[in-house]
């Protein structure tokens, strides 16, 4: 998989996308994440990327030309499955969307900033608009990092233990059951006996029941 991310703040993305599991995925050539600085496509000697909005109003708007030039140059070399704009008015990200996107080959992610981006970028280039929740961030970068993380970890081979992505919360529509490691007894706080029993069918049954119990307690909406 190839992901190209367009941003005016590359520094906000470099850290989260180049550490730990996302770094290993790239080192293993399971995906490549390329961060593009929109300012390199800015206009004039000041490399301008934003301007005041027509009709008046507070806040700067990212201009269409730098995006058009960058996106068109990317499209010359690669066929993209989706061009995604991260925006609080997009559709809410969920596990189903991440699962579907993890099967794609090439994605462009567009991060807005300031007031947002010129509507014509959305009309002409964007194929999908995604929000990561009902709250407002200062820009799309952190949302793009969240989206990348949730997609890349699903690519086969990225997680060491293939089973572990499948047993995530949400993957089967349920929240995950509690997990424990050593010590079995921490100052009298004991691990549930069943987990030490070695009876794996019973353990599976316990985990399923716990998952159901926790889901109905914390997120009853998921059971509907």
Whichever of 107 and 143 has its CB closer to ligand 6GU, that residue is 143
Stretch touching ligand 6GU by CB under 6 A, among 56-64, 136-144, 162-170, 210-218: 136-144
Question: In angstroms, rounded to a whole number, what is the distance separating the alpha carbons of residues 124 and 224?
Answer: 38
State yes or no: residue 137 binds ligand 6GU (CB under 6 A): yes
State yes or no: residue 135 binds ligand 6GU (CB under 6 A): yes
State yes or no: residue 42 binds ligand 6GU (CB under 6 A): no
Rounded to a whole number of angstroms, the minimum distance from the CB of residue 15 to ligand 6GU is 18
Name 91's Cβ contacts closer than 8 Å, sequence gap at least 6.
97, 128, 129, 130, 131
Name 22's Cβ contacts closer than 8 Å, sequence gap at least 6.
16, 33, 148, 149, 152, 153
Tokens matching residue 3: 């992901």
Whichever of 88 and 192 has its CB closer to ligand 6GU, that residue is 88
State yes or no: residue 140 binds ligand 6GU (CB under 6 A): yes
Token pair 């926790």 is found at 214
Rounded to a whole number of angstroms, the minimum distance from the CB of residue 207 to ligand 6GU is 32
State yes or no: residue 179 binds ligand 6GU (CB under 6 A): no
Whichever of 138 and 164 has its CB closer to ligand 6GU, that residue is 138
Question: In angstroms, rounded to a whole number, what is the distance separating the alpha carbons of residues 220 and 222?
Answer: 5
State yes or no: residue 176 binds ligand 6GU (CB under 6 A): no
Binding residues among 114-133 for ligand 6GU as defined by CB under 6 A: 131-133
Tell me the CA distances in angstroms from 192 to 141, 167, 199, 203, one per residue in order: 41, 19, 13, 10
State yes or no: residue 8 binds ligand 6GU (CB under 6 A): no
From candidates 75, 88, 115, 212, binder to ligand 6GU by CB under 6 A: 88
Q: What's the order of all strands across the beta sheet hosting 50-52?
A: 50-52, 60-62, 116-117
Region for 52 from its dihedrals, namely left if φ exceeds 0, alpha if ψ lies in -120 to 50, beta otherwise: beta
State yes or no: residue 16 binds ligand 6GU (CB under 6 A): no
C-alpha radius of gyration, the chain, whole number: 22
Residues that bind ligand 6GU (CB under 6 A): 86-88, 131-133, 135-137, 139-140, 143
């Amino acid at each position: 998989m190839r992901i190209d991310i367009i941003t005016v703040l590359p520094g906000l993305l470099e850290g989260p996308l180049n550490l730990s599991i996302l770094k290993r995925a790239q080192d293993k050539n399971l995906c490549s994440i390329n961060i593009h600085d929109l300012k390199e496509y800015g206009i004039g000697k000041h490399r301008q990327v934003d301007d005041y909005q027509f009709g008046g109003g507070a806040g700067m708007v990212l201009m269409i030309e730098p995006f058009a030039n960058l996106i068109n140059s990317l499209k010359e070399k690669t066929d993209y499955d989706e061009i995604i704009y991260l925006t609080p008015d997009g559709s809410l990200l969920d596990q189903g969307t991440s699962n579907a996107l993890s099967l794609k080959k090439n994605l462009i992610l567009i991060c807005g900033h300031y007031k947002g981006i010129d509507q014509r970028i959305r009309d002409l280039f964007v194929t999908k608009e995604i929000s990561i929740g009902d709250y407002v961030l200062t820009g799309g970068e952190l949302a793009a990092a969240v989206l990348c993380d949730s997609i890349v970890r699903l690519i086969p081979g990225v997680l060491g233990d293939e089973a572990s992505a499948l047993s995530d919360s949400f993957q089967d529509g349920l929240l995950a059951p509690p997990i424990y490691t050593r010590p079995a007894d921490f100052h009298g706080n004991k691990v549930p006996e069943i987990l030490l029993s070695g009876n794996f069918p019973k353990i599976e049954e316990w985990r399923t029941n716990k998952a159901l119990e926790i889901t109905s307690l914390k997120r009853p909406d998921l059971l509907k």
